[in-house]
Structure 1
Amino acid sequence: MLLDKTVRFSLAGCLLAQMLVSISLGSDWPQWRGPTRDGVAQGTAWPESLGEDVLKLSWRVELGPSYSGPIVVGDRVFTTETRDEQTEVASAYDRRTGKRLWEAEWPGSLTVPFFAASNGSWIRATPVANTDTLFVAGIRDVLVALDTQTGAQRWRLDFPAELGSEAPKFGCASSPLLDSDYLYAQMGGGFVKVHQQTGKVAWRVAPDGGGMSGGAFSSPYLTNDNGQRLAVVQTREALKGIDAETGDELWTQTIEAFRGMNILTPVLYDGKLFTSAHTGRSQLWRRDGDDPGRLQQVWSNKSQAYMSSPVVVGDHLYLHLRNQRIQCLDLKTGEEAWRTQPYGKYQSMAVLGDRILALDERGELLLFRANPETFEEIDRRPISEAETWAHIAVCGGQLFVRELHALAVYDWVQE
């Protein structure tokens, strides 16, 4: 089996106050797609309303543009921005008051190709943090480590300068992950393992050359494979399993997509891997019992994802499609349970129990039930007049939204 255990959704919760929810233990959102990197939130069930008397704006600060999702560790919120098209900035805010605690900056400028100009030339990847250090991937393939308390720079790793790799044409878009003493990132023309204390590269692998050196859009995922630490890496051309200790490639599977637009983060289900590609297909894969160096397709269908990574509840997957509809898939069979009317070009999804929050790029927040029988909209609400392409963070009774030019924080109110 690919995994020695499946992802569980009955996670320990946060304590809620009777009125405004207080910050509690286990209420962090420290990386891309949350604590377990799969969009699963922790805590007490969200109210079945998005009304302004239930989901209240706590504070909002104006910022330069960014596609990075906000992350939350302890009493701090971290976000990024690009200023004057030349400088990248990381900032820390008090999560209750919105007071800026510090900011750090470095040169960071790159112009994306003309046909992607509408996507902007600003910082893209979501940072990752522990209690000591914030790690930020800049648009020019530069990895910066900052002290979470002061913003002081601990180290800076410029991959093009140090490894001779090219800066990705569309900018660094893959969000790094942290595991024990090491940071893993699809940067530097490949997949790298970096010591988090020193910034020294332990190894770099580029299994398929062109696909990785073009700059990955997808973000890596770490799991266990019969006691072995495994990095699941989706390049622009293939899905790969990399030994997280040695960097050895354990298996590879070509994933076809238009111009290498393999964007979503693959998700895990019952020891198997799901992925879906722009102009490609949705597919579920498992390790081949006869040949452990390859994957075997469980099922495939014509559904095409675009940029949004899905969430899994029970035996069903909830996926936002390239045609802007939300689809529910039976993961056992690959059959469609239902699909909706269009809901924007993008949906950043988070799930808690049987409720899914989804924010589209137009600033509309949707709350619906994870019900495989039918699409069950609970509530919806416009919360931003600006674009909202960054992934939401939901933890400790709060919702964190990175608008294109602002950071807004909301509190759930409990009766």
Structure 2
Amino acid sequence: MSNWPQWRGPQRNGVAEGTKLPASWPAALPKPKWRVPLGIGYSSPVIADGVVFIQSRDTKVSQEVCHAIDDKTGKMLWTHAYLSTFAPPDPTAGKGPNSTPTVDRGQVYMLGLGGILHCFAARTGKIIWKHDLAKEFWGVEKEEIGDKWFPVCGATSSALAVGEEVILSVGGKKAGSLAAFDRATGKLLWKALDDRSSYASPVLGEVAGTQQLVAFTGKRMVGIHPKTHALLWEYPVTCLYEQTIVTPLLWRNRVLISHEAKPIVALELGAGGQKVAWQSAELSPYLSTPVIVKDHVIGLDARSRRIVCIDCENGKMIWSSPNRMGKNFASLVVAGESLLVLSDLGELYVIAADPSMFKLLKTYKVAEPGTIWSQLAIVENRLYIRDQTGLSCYAL
């Protein structure tokens, strides 16, 4: 059985594995196999062993709600609601929750906007452990806007499960910008760096022959040794309100990064540290993480609102879509020979996964404009689309 167990899929790279999507896309999408009404939030669906997990907010009673849904029927298997009164000072950021759950070996980890972290038994919803990050790790120092260590618009990073550790961007001197919790007990095992936490999610992979955690803090992109937790390299970033949002991409001996609609940068890692291999203002992501397709990076440019394809080797732009394909956000998923783009314009675009040319195969209307800021999920022949009123499962 295929799964989509975490943020951006099985390998956290926006690539769907083992899909069974149609060779010829239909003129119209079928009606949803099921649809579940949800409260607000930008948390994305994840799917593991026949269960869909997602988070939402019930604004009537100031609660965040964790949901487990039967993938076959759309029936709610369990929910857990808890009080959460945190509200970002910027109302355009949304009231959350915005973090995406992570499922690993029968446990699911869910982080709320105000810093409530739960570990549940995936099948039953029983709480195995929990943390209140705000009470335990933040509140040590204040700034003009909010907490010195807490991201202004709330906690949005999605947990990374590695062996017996659950790694998360927490922030500050008590828990570090990156922190690891014991998967069984929730005990804090280690912390790294004293920066403010990031809105982005960490990734684990081998770059330039070295296995490392690659992650944003509020002020820099870093590589952390997963065993010693030492800083391997760093690249400083400066942006308003420390808006480090885009998940880093790993390609060969390079890390591709972007922040606050700045030009995408390819950092080349080596024995001497890191250097800029190239940067391109043709692709400047803001909220949307690009994908890598056959040695090319493809993403939504925040200025032109077009989908842009860049050669990972030299930074040269190969093509851009003729029309805009998003206002502020689009999630991209590579599925076989197709590239699916779910846009906040309320449309799902199917594009040929061909770096040599732009070819739009189909366009489907799936929601009203401005209601989608969540990651598209794909398992086998099913598409999971979350808008601001609910979650729909389409079976193709």
Paired with 1:46 and 1:231, the residues of 2 have a C-alpha distance of 33
Q: Is the 8 A contact 1:76 1:93 kept in 2?
A: yes
Does the 8 Å contact 1:159/1:188 carry over to 2? Answer: no
Q: How does 1:155-166 map to 2 (within 5 A)?
A: 155-165=129-139, 166=147
- Within the candidate set 166, 172, 194, 2:155 is matched to 172
Rounded Cα–Cα distance in structure 1 between residues aligned with 2:289 and 2:200:
9
Match of 1:398 in 2: 382
Q: Which residue type is aligned with residue 62 of structure 2?
A: Q
Report if the CA contact (8 A) 1:104-1:152 is conserved: no
What is the alpha-carbon distance in structure 1 between the residues aligned to residue 54 and residue 261 of structure 2?
Answer: 32
Aligned equivalent of 2:142: none
| Alignment gaps of 5+ in structure 1 | 1-24
Q: Which runs of 5+ in 2 are unaligned?
A: 140-146
CA distance in 2, matches of 1:318, 1:55: 28
Task: Give 1:188 deviation, angstroms.
Answer: 4.0
Q: Distance in 1 between matches of 2:35 and 2:336?
A: 28
In structure 2, C-alpha distance between the alignment counterparts of 1:58 and 1:73, rounded to whole Å: 18
- State the secondary structure of the residue aligned to 1:105: strand
Range 72-81 or range 41-50, more displaced: 41-50
- Counterpart of 2:201 in structure 1 is 219
The residue number in structure 1 matching 2:25 is: 49
Shift of residue 247, structure 1, vs aligned partner: 1.9
1:377 correspondence with 2:357: no
Match of 1:15 in 2: none
Deviations 1:357-398 (A, max 9, x none): 111113210100122232100001111236111101101211
Matches within 5 A, 1:11-22: none
Contact 1:258–1:279 (Cα < 8 Å) also in 2:
no
Residue of structure 1 equivalent to 2:178: 191
Match of 2:280 in 1: 301
Contact 2:53–2:67 (Cα < 8 Å) also in 1: yes
Structure ranking higher on relative contact order (CA contacts 8 Å, 6+ apart): 1
Residue 322 in structure 1 maps to residue 302 in structure 2: yes
Match of 1:342 in 2: 324
- RMSD, aligned α-carbons: 1.8
The equivalences for 1:115-194 within 5 A come to 116-165=90-139, 166=147, 167-189=150-172, 190-194=177-181
User: TM (normalized to structure 2)?
Assistant: 0.90
Which residue matches 1:12?
none
C-alpha distance in 2 between matches for 1:225 and 1:365: 33
Residue aligning to 1:257: 239
In 2, the alpha carbon distance for the partners of 1:135 and 1:257 equals 29
1:28-47 equivalent positions in 2, closer than 5 A: 28-44=3-19, 46-47=21-22
**Letter paired with 1:313:** V
Runs of 4+ in 1 over 6 A off after TM superposition: none
> What residue number does 1:94 align with?
70
TM-score norm. by structure 1 comes to: 0.86
Structure 1 CA distance for aligned equivalents of residues 344 and 135 of structure 2:
34
Give yes or no for contact 1:144–1:156 (8 Å, CA) kept in 2: yes
SS in 2 for 1:390: coil
Tell me if 1:248 matches 2:227: no
Q: CA deviation at 1:272?
A: 1.1
Q: String of CA shifts for 1:297-334, please: whole Å, max 9, x gaps.
A: 11112231111111111121111111211100011110
Q: Within 1, Cα distance between the matches of 2:367 and 2:153?
A: 26
Question: Helix, strand or coil: the match of 1:178?
Answer: strand
